Protein backbone atom coordinates (compact mmCIF):
# COMPACT_ATOMS: atom_id res chain seq x y z
CA UNK A 1 0.00 0.00 0.00
CA UNK A 2 2.88 2.37 0.78
CA UNK A 3 4.48 1.57 -2.57
CA UNK A 4 1.18 2.26 -4.37
CA UNK A 5 1.17 5.71 -2.74
CA UNK A 6 4.62 6.25 -4.32
CA UNK A 7 3.27 5.29 -7.77
CA UNK A 8 4.51 1.70 -7.86
CA UNK A 9 2.76 -1.27 -9.43
CA UNK A 10 3.25 -4.35 -7.27
CA UNK A 11 3.28 -7.86 -8.71
CA UNK A 12 3.79 -11.18 -6.92
CA UNK A 13 4.70 -14.45 -8.63
CA UNK A 14 4.86 -17.98 -7.26
CA UNK A 15 5.15 -21.35 -9.00
CA UNK A 16 2.36 -23.00 -7.05
CA UNK A 17 -1.43 -23.28 -7.17
CA UNK A 18 -3.13 -19.94 -6.65
CA UNK A 19 -5.51 -21.25 -3.99
CA UNK A 20 -2.77 -22.78 -1.82
CA UNK A 21 -2.66 -20.77 1.41
CA UNK A 22 -5.29 -18.51 -0.23
CA UNK A 23 -2.54 -16.66 -2.10
CA UNK A 24 -4.99 -15.54 -4.75
CA UNK A 25 -6.80 -13.53 -2.07
CA UNK A 26 -3.91 -12.83 0.29
CA UNK A 27 -1.75 -10.91 -2.19
CA UNK A 28 -4.66 -8.71 -3.20
CA UNK A 29 -5.42 -7.93 0.44
CA UNK A 30 -1.75 -7.00 0.93
CA UNK A 31 -2.02 -4.39 -1.82
CA UNK A 32 -0.52 -6.28 -4.77
CA UNK A 33 -1.98 -5.24 -8.11
CA UNK A 34 -1.41 -8.64 -9.71
CA UNK A 35 -0.62 -12.19 -8.62
CA UNK A 36 0.79 -14.71 -11.11
CA UNK A 37 0.44 -18.38 -10.19
CA UNK A 38 1.53 -21.59 -11.88
CA UNK A 39 -1.69 -21.77 -13.90
CA UNK A 40 -0.58 -18.67 -15.82
CA UNK A 41 2.98 -19.80 -16.58
CA UNK A 42 4.22 -20.41 -20.12
CA UNK A 43 7.02 -22.51 -18.63
CA UNK A 44 5.84 -25.15 -16.23
CA UNK A 45 8.23 -27.99 -15.57
CA UNK A 46 7.54 -29.15 -12.04
CA UNK A 47 9.88 -30.45 -9.38
CA UNK A 48 8.83 -31.35 -5.85
CA UNK A 49 6.09 -28.98 -4.71
CA UNK A 50 5.70 -26.88 -7.86
CA UNK A 51 7.27 -25.11 -10.82
CA UNK A 52 11.06 -25.21 -11.14
CA UNK A 53 12.66 -21.95 -10.03
CA UNK A 54 14.32 -21.65 -13.45
CA UNK A 55 10.89 -21.65 -15.12
CA UNK A 56 9.51 -19.24 -12.53
CA UNK A 57 12.38 -16.84 -13.20
CA UNK A 58 11.90 -17.18 -16.98
CA UNK A 59 8.21 -16.33 -16.52
CA UNK A 60 9.25 -13.44 -14.28
CA UNK A 61 11.33 -11.94 -17.09
CA UNK A 62 8.28 -12.02 -19.37
CA UNK A 63 6.13 -10.34 -16.72
CA UNK A 64 8.74 -7.73 -15.78
CA UNK A 65 9.15 -6.72 -19.42
CA UNK A 66 5.43 -5.79 -19.43
CA UNK A 67 5.79 -3.44 -16.46
CA UNK A 68 6.45 0.28 -16.53
CA UNK A 69 8.69 1.92 -13.94
CA UNK A 70 8.36 2.13 -11.04
CA UNK A 71 7.37 -1.37 -9.99
CA UNK A 72 7.83 -3.81 -7.17
CA UNK A 73 8.21 -7.46 -8.20
CA UNK A 74 7.93 -10.07 -5.44
CA UNK A 75 9.01 -13.60 -6.45
CA UNK A 76 8.69 -16.69 -4.27
CA UNK A 77 10.90 -19.64 -5.17
CA UNK A 78 9.73 -23.18 -4.54
CA UNK A 79 12.43 -25.61 -5.70
CA UNK A 80 14.41 -25.08 -2.51
CA UNK A 81 11.40 -25.97 -0.35
CA UNK A 82 11.04 -29.20 1.61
CA UNK A 83 11.29 -32.12 0.88
CA UNK A 84 14.52 -31.21 -1.04
CA UNK A 85 14.21 -34.04 -3.55
CA UNK A 86 15.78 -32.43 -6.59
CA UNK A 87 16.17 -34.65 -9.66
CA UNK A 88 19.62 -36.11 -10.28
CA UNK A 89 20.05 -34.05 -13.46
CA UNK A 90 19.70 -30.84 -11.38
CA UNK A 91 22.08 -31.95 -8.63
CA UNK A 92 25.45 -30.49 -9.52
CA UNK A 93 27.36 -30.77 -6.25
CA UNK A 94 29.37 -33.87 -5.31
CA UNK A 95 28.32 -34.30 -1.69
CA UNK A 96 28.11 -37.08 0.84
CA UNK A 97 25.95 -37.22 3.94
CA UNK A 98 22.39 -37.75 5.02
CA UNK A 99 19.81 -37.11 2.30
CA UNK A 100 18.11 -34.23 4.13
CA UNK A 101 21.34 -32.23 4.36
CA UNK A 102 22.58 -33.17 0.90
CA UNK A 103 19.15 -32.57 -0.64
CA UNK A 104 18.92 -29.16 1.04
CA UNK A 105 22.38 -28.09 -0.15
CA UNK A 106 21.69 -29.33 -3.71
CA UNK A 107 18.36 -27.45 -3.79
CA UNK A 108 19.79 -24.22 -2.40
CA UNK A 109 22.72 -24.42 -4.82
CA UNK A 110 20.31 -24.86 -7.75
CA UNK A 111 18.12 -21.95 -6.63
CA UNK A 112 21.15 -19.72 -6.07
CA UNK A 113 22.48 -20.56 -9.56
CA UNK A 114 19.23 -19.83 -11.40
CA UNK A 115 18.64 -16.67 -9.34
CA UNK A 116 22.08 -15.44 -10.41
CA UNK A 117 21.17 -16.08 -14.05
CA UNK A 118 17.85 -14.26 -13.54
CA UNK A 119 19.59 -11.28 -11.94
CA UNK A 120 22.20 -11.07 -14.70
CA UNK A 121 19.45 -11.28 -17.34
CA UNK A 122 17.61 -8.37 -15.72
CA UNK A 123 20.84 -6.40 -15.39
CA UNK A 124 21.61 -6.88 -19.10
CA UNK A 125 18.11 -5.67 -19.99
CA UNK A 126 18.49 -2.61 -17.76
CA UNK A 127 15.62 -3.70 -15.51
CA UNK A 128 17.45 -3.63 -12.17
CA UNK A 129 16.58 -0.59 -10.08
CA UNK A 130 16.92 -0.60 -6.33
CA UNK A 131 15.44 2.27 -4.39
CA UNK A 132 15.46 2.57 -0.66
CA UNK A 133 12.98 4.64 1.27
CA UNK A 134 13.07 5.48 4.93
CA UNK A 135 9.58 5.10 6.27
**DSSP labels for 92-121?**
-S---S-HHHHHHHHHHHHHHHHHHHHHHH
* CB contact at 8 A, 56 and 75: yes
Instruction: Confirm if 74 and 32 have CB atoms less than 8 A apart.
Output: yes
pLDDT of residue 114 exceeding 90: yes
Give residue 16's pLDDT. 84
pTM: 0.85
CA 117 to chain centre: 13
For residues 63 and 1, the model is more confident at 63
Measured distance CA(53)–CA(108) in Å, rounded:
11
Query: How confident is the model over 58-98, as pLDDT tens digits?
Result: 999 999 999 998 999 999 999 888 888 888 888 988 889 88
Amino acid sequence: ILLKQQGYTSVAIHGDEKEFWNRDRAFKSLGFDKYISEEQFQFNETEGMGILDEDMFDQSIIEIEKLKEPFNFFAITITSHMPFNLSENLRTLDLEGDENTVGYLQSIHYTDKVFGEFYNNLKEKGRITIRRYLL
